[in-house]
Amino acid sequence: MVGIVAFSVGNGSKDIFLKEGFFNFFTGADWNSVEGRESYGALPYIIGTLVSSALAMAIGVPVSLGIAIFVSEMAPARVSAPLSFIVELLAAVPSIIYGLWALFVFRFWIRDLIEMPLYNAFGRSIPFFGPTPFGLDWFTAGIVLSIMIIPIVSSISREIIKAVPDTQREAAYSLGATRWETVRIAIFPYAKSGLLGAAILGLGRAMGETILVTMIIGNTIGIAAIPHSLFSQSQSLASLIANEFNEASSNLQLSALIGLGAVLLILTMGINVGARILVSKIVKVSPGGRE
């Protein structure tokens, strides 16, 4: 199966790499499908993907960690059981529904509660906070992505924290440590690589997310898609593919889109393999049984 994936994506993107050159395709910023003046570059969308996922991580990971600590270390069973049930349930909600909600509900919250005040305060003096926000930009996309990855990252983190042996905790408590000190000195060192792995898994998810980002990132193309201010419209690799795939006017454009897919594939594959190595260091795959 992996062979099929690699082969077909490689084959499909051959045209564009041949035309633009491997290096130019990565660094180019044009996106022009008019016949005769065709020119494709992936750089703006790579940046758009990285920036929105970075924002998602910056918000999503600390919050997920907080939830994981609350559920596994602080809350009594009658609070933590339903809470983790709800979180697991939300991990199953399809991303199209996050997108629908973000488009019709959440973007007005963001615009009215965060973006407009920031714009009114700084917009005229600092270009970073302009132009007039209307809620469809990479800032919103990053925040919604963070909301989407919270259920996944927090439930994996919870399992990893639970896998830390109780003797670690008991040792810390018996030395008179407070709860926070126990978490800091007994649990974090033990679970460090696993938690990192969970975060990176979330990152892979955020980078590959398509439909949600397509609905709220604003969908610009070309050089304008490089985020140049906090509230600028942008575009990610996946969202551009989703937007143009069915309307591609030439084989070369299609090939360029598949090339974007190849870039995305390389990025996420590297991230995922790294994450899995880290996670497998702490969570042993089989809990007993055979051997």
Partner 1 sequence: MHRNELNSNNNKQKIQNIILRQYYKRKLADKLVSGFAILCVLIAIIPLGSILLEVIKNGASAISIQLLTFPPGAIGSATGGIAPAIQGTLIVVGLASLIAVPIGVLTGIYLSEFAPTNGLLPSAVRLFNDVLTGLPSVVIGIVGYLTIVLALGSFSVVAGGFSLSIIMMPIVVRTTEETLKIVPNSLREAGYSLGISKFRVTFSIVLAKAKSGVLTGVVLAIARIAGETAPLIMTILGTSLFFTGFTRPIDALPLRIWRLASQPYESAHSQGWGAALVLIIIVVLLSAILKILAQRSGYNVRTPHI
34: region left, alpha or beta (phi > 0 left; psi from -120 to 50 alpha): beta
Q: How far is the CB of 30 from partner 1 (least distance, A)?
A: 22
Instruction: Work out whether the CA dihedral 84, 58, 235, 131 comes out positive or negative.
Output: positive
Burial of residue 9 (number of CB atoms within 10 Å: 0-12, 13-18, 19+): middle
Q: Considering the rule CB under 8 A, would residue 286 count as an interface residue with partner 1?
A: yes
Among 18, 35, 66, 281, binds partner 1 (CB under 8 A): 66
Among 238, 252, 256, 278, binds partner 1 (CB under 8 A): 238
Q: Residue 10 and residue 15: Cα distance in Å, rounded?
A: 10
Q: Which helix (H) or strand (E) holds 279?
A: helix 251-282
Among 50, 114, 211, 224, binds partner 1 (CB under 8 A): 211
Q: Residue 163 and residue 195: Cα distance in Å, rounded?
A: 11
Q: How far is the CB of 123 from partner 1 (least distance, A)?
A: 25
109: helix, coil or strand? helix
222: region left, alpha or beta (phi > 0 left; psi from -120 to 50 alpha): left
Using CB under 8 A as the binding rule, the residues of this chain from 96 to 115 that contact partner 1 are 96-101, 103-106
Q: Considering the rule CB under 8 A, would residue 175 count as an interface residue with partner 1?
A: no
Q: Considering the rule CB under 8 A, would residue 188 count as an interface residue with partner 1?
A: no
Q: Which is nearer to partner 1, 33 or 268 (CB)?
A: 268
Q: Which is nearer to partner 1, 129 or 200 (CB)?
A: 200
Residues that bind partner 1 (rule: CB under 8 A) add up to a total of: 82
Q: How far is the CB of 118 from partner 1 (least distance, A)?
A: 19
The answer to whether residues 61 and 197 touch, using CB atoms and an 8 Å cutoff, is: no
- Secondary structure (DSSP) of 153-214: HHHHHHHHHHHS-HHHHHHHHHTT--HHHHIIIIIHHHHHHHHHHHHHHHHHHHHH--HHHH
Using CB under 8 A as the binding rule, the residues of this chain from 133 to 162 that contact partner 1 are 147, 150-152, 154-156, 159
Q: How far is the CB of 189 from partner 1 (least distance, A)?
A: 16
Question: What residue type is assigned to position 45 of the chain?
Answer: Y
Q: Considering the rule CB under 8 A, would residue 288 count as an interface residue with partner 1?
A: yes
Q: Considering the rule CB under 8 A, would residue 34 count as an interface residue with partner 1?
A: no
Q: How far is the CB of 47 from partner 1 (least distance, A)?
A: 17
Region binding partner 1 by CB under 8 A among candidate stretches 37-45, 125-133, 221-229, 268-276: 268-276
Q: Considering the rule CB under 8 A, would residue 171 count as an interface residue with partner 1?
A: no
Among 196, 215, 217, 278, binds partner 1 (CB under 8 A): 215
Q: Which is nearer to partner 1, 60 or 133 (CB)?
A: 60
Nearest to 165 by CA among 181, 201, 189: 189
The answer to whether residues 55 and 146 touch, using CB atoms and an 8 Å cutoff, is: yes
Q: Considering the rule CB under 8 A, would residue 122 count as an interface residue with partner 1?
A: no
